[in-house]
Amino acid sequence: MALSSLRSAGRRLICGMKQRKFRRGISVTVGLVLLLLNLVLANYLSGRHYHRADWTPRRIHMLSPRTIELVRGIRRPVELVVFMVPPDRLPGSLLPETRELVRRISRHSPLVTVQYVDPDLDPVRAEMLADKYDVNRRDLKEGGVVVASGRRGKFVASASMAEYRMEAGRRRLAAYRGEGALLEGLVAVTSRAQSTVCFTRDHGEAPTDSYADAGYGYIADEVKRDGYRVRGLGSADLLANSRACRVMVIGGPQQAFAAPETDALDRYLRRGGRLMVLLGPVLDRKVTGHRRVGLEELLTAWGIRVMDNIAVDSLAVPGEQPLMTWATRDGYVGDHPIARAMSGRITVWPLVREVRPVPAQRPGVKSQALVRTSAEGWAETDLASLRGDRPLRLDRAVDTPGPVTVAVAATGPTARIAVLGTERGVINRRMGSLVVRDHNRDLFLATLGWLDGSASRVATGPKVPEQLQLTLDERQLTRVFLISVVALPSASLLVGLFVWWRRRR
């Protein structure tokens, strides 16, 4: 009887233990299922309502309040097409920085969509989109971002999105300008008013509808891609209808402007007009003297004097005539917006004249230099040297020693003027080349943007990445080795042996 009672009590005890174990298993299982469900819900909610943080010391990935305001104010669909390859196939590629930038921009507006195109892996799609957005093969190769809305588009080249410096023979990112560049593109394609850029004609200027070597067809296309309308302005229109021109471009006139035309230009500037003049040396057929084009007195009155000489420099350009065609990367002067935008970029100056800032005759007008030759350059006055009769050399009695100014900007109460001492830097022969590595196009567009005022609308500076370098001497390296390779593993082994010994007891 006692044995039967003991067996019954044992069965009840075992049954109770099994029930408690079962209930504990059910509880653990339900807890794990609920935990998994919470993780799934948390992942879903974080994916729908995520917040991206920037823990870099300089906050290089944070959008400025001005950018966020403008992006949230977009009222029409905008497409960003990124033509870039990864850094593992192109050292110095801006794809990581640009991907983070466009991701943050699109987060603030549902109207902004993004697509990435790798020209190497998907060349057919890349060429189709390049044709759709008028991206030439040179830009497609170098990379960039197309900002498009409706029929308006702007191509932002990779070169305009960064500043580089050379370290140990390698090019490293010194500053990232992508936010300001893309923001200017967004403003250009979404603004209600589309500015008109007028190219004068009837004075021997290069035609904007020609793709011959001496034409302006390629630079006119660049202006259109920058969000502007392009219009030709003949003599009759100059006299009667210049008000429609937000910016007027006089590109290399060979015949003189008549007095009524220069008067019309003066009135245009007094009304707050914006004028860009590309004016290289104008020589007679036998290269014995300079010819006047009727703009000299007008420009002098507005604080800019064009000189009858030729600026030469020693920094030669391969394939070009030495001294007569030269390049500069460090010749940009002062803190003018154009000079700041072009800092560190190489521009080529073929057959260029000296252009000086002088006291203006118009009230409230101030002029300043933009670009100069190096100290080894000078302003040559002897045309016999240009004809090849005598070698080019500095004669301090008649020539102006360097540095010589070749580009000047003037600002009045409402008017703006920029004069570059050559028109040959942006002709089709230079713009249409696939091997050109200069930034003459960027100089033209930066000047155009300053004249139009777009640079002042988007005041977003470059982001400078902070690159920290840890340098240890031999004693410090030895100490790091002893701690990480000897001390820490030994401590872990001793703790494990101690735990094993305690459990054995």
pLDDT digits (tens, 9 = 90+) for 134-187: 787 777 888 889 888 887 788 888 877 877 666 666 667 777 778 878 887 887
Name the DSSP class of 318. Answer: T
Q: Do 72 and 122 sit in the same domain of this protein?
A: yes
d(CA 52, CA 63): 11
Mean pLDDT over residues 425-433, rounded? 81
d(CA 444, CA 338): 10
**pLDDT band for position 352 (cuts 50, 70, 90):** very high
Q: Distance between alpha carbon 461 and the CA centroid of its chain, in Å?
A: 11
Q: Which residue has the tokens 């459990």?
A: 503
In a domain, 386, yes or no: yes
Question: How does pLDDT run across 492-502, given as a tens digit for each residue?
Answer: 888 888 888 87
- Token digits for 149? 């809305």
d(CA 104, CA 68): 9
User: Omega into 207 within 30° of 0, i.e. cis?
Assistant: no
Name the DSSP class of 409. Answer: E
Q: Do 403 and 272 sit in the same domain of this protein?
A: yes
In a domain, 80, yes or no: yes
Percent of the chain surpassing pLDDT 90: 24
d(CA 216, CA 198): 13
In a domain, 36, yes or no: no
d(CA 380, CA 359): 24
Number of domains within the chain: 2
Q: Do 106 and 205 sit in the same domain of this protein?
A: no
d(CA 205, CA 208): 9
E strands present in 71-169: 78-83, 112-117, 144-149, 152-157, 162-167
Domain of 108: which CATH number?
A: 3.40.30.10
Single out the residue of 461, 462, 460, 458 nearest to residue 227, CA to CA.
Answer: 458
More confident residue, 75 or 404: 404
User: Looking at 182, 216, 241, which one is the last position of a domain?
Assistant: 182
d(CA 98, CA 75): 23
Q: What angle do CA 171, 172, 174 make, to 5 degrees?
A: 130
**Is the pLDDT score of 491 beyond 70?**
yes
Helix (H, G, I), strand (E, B) or coil at 372: strand
Q: Do 363 and 237 sit in the same domain of this protein?
A: yes
Question: How does pLDDT run across 257-276, given as a tens digit for each residue?
Answer: 999 999 999 999 999 999 99
Q: Do 268 and 235 sit in the same domain of this protein?
A: yes
* pLDDT recorded at residue 459: 42
Expressed as residue numbers, the domain containing 175 is 65-182
Q: Do 106 and 224 sit in the same domain of this protein?
A: no
Q: Do 215 and 257 sit in the same domain of this protein?
A: yes
Q: Do 332 and 202 sit in the same domain of this protein?
A: yes
Q: Do 163 and 229 sit in the same domain of this protein?
A: no
User: Looking at 116, 151, 182, which one is the last position of a domain?
Assistant: 182
**pLDDT band for position 423 (cuts 50, 70, 90):** very high
d(CA 317, CA 349): 9
In a domain, 13, yes or no: no
Question: What letter represents residue 384's amino acid?
Answer: A
d(CA 44, CA 37): 11
Domain of 357: which CATH number?
A: 3.40.50.880
* pLDDT recorded at residue 289: 85
Quote the crossing angle between the two packed helices 65-72 and 178-190, to the nearest 10°: 30
* pLDDT recorded at residue 475: 80
**Rg for the chain, CA atoms, rounded:** 34
d(CA 182, CA 105): 10
Q: Do 202 and 97 sit in the same domain of this protein?
A: no
In a domain, 187, yes or no: no
* pLDDT recorded at residue 505: 65
Single out the residue of 209, 154, 234 nearest to residue 449, CA to CA.
Answer: 154
In a domain, 483, yes or no: no
**Is the pLDDT score of 385 beyond 50?**
yes
Q: Do 345 and 386 sit in the same domain of this protein?
A: yes
In a domain, 466, yes or no: no
More confident residue, 85 or 391: 85
Tell me how crowded residue 280 is: count the other CB atoms within 10 A of its CB: 21
* pLDDT recorded at residue 307: 92
| Those residues with Cβ within 8 angstroms of residue 215's Cβ, 6 or more apart along the chain or in another chain | 206, 207, 208, 209, 427, 428
Tell me how crowded residue 31 is: count the other CB atoms within 10 A of its CB: 10
* pLDDT recorded at residue 26: 81
* pLDDT recorded at residue 457: 41
Is the whole-model pTM more than 0.75?
no
Q: What is the chain's length? A: 505
User: Looking at 161, 182, 203, which one is the last position of a domain?
Assistant: 182
d(CA 40, CA 33): 11
Please name every residue paired with 290 in a beta bridge, in sequence order, or none if there are none. Answer: 283
CB 76 within 8 A of CB 109: no
Alpha helices per DSSP H over 290-392: 296-301, 337-341, 383-387
In a domain, 59, yes or no: no
Helix (H, G, I), strand (E, B) or coil at 43: helix
Q: Do 335 and 299 sit in the same domain of this protein?
A: yes
- Token digits for 24? 């504990």
